[in-house]
C-alpha cells in the first residue's frame, strides 16, 4: 500500500514538472497510435479473442469432482 501511494506521489510530481506541453505531446502521440490501422486491427483481434474465451467459458458444465479423490461415503447415495 505504501508503494502504491509513493508511486502515485512520484508520478504526480514528475507529471507536474513535465508541464502542459509534455502532456499535450503524449496526448498527440497516443491519439496518432490509436488511429493507426495496425493498432485498430490488433485491438479488434484481441476483442474477438477475449469475447470468444468469455463466451466459451460460460457454456461449460460445472466440473464434477474426480471420484478418485472422494471417500467411499461420498459415493454411497444412501449415506447422504
pLDDT at residue 78 in the model: 61
pTM of the model: 0.44
Domain ranges of the chain: 2-57
pLDDT means per 10 residues, the chain with 80 residues, are 88 83 87 92 93 74 68 56
Residue 57 is predicted with a pLDDT of 66
What are the CA-CA distances from residue 70 to residues 6, 31, 65, 67, 78 (Å)? Answer: 49, 57, 8, 5, 15
Q: What is the pLDDT of residue 1?
A: 85
In this predicted structure, what is the pLDDT of residue 36? 93
Separation CA 44–CA 50 (nearest Å): 10
Amino acid at each position: 500500500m505504501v508503494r502504491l501511494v509513493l508511486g502515485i506521489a512520484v508520478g504526480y510530481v514528475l507529471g507536474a514538472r513535465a508541464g502542459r506541453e509534455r502532456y499535450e505531446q503524449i496526448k498527440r502521440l497516443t491519439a496518432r497510435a490509436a488511429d493507426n490501422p495496425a493498432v485498430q486491427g490488433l485491438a479488434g483481434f484481441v476483442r474477438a479473442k477475449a469475447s470468444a474465451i468469455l463466451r466459451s467459458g460460460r457454456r461449460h458444465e460445472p466440473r464434477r469432482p474426480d471420484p478418485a479423490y472422494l471417500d467411499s461415503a461420498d459415493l454411497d447415495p444412501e449415506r447422504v
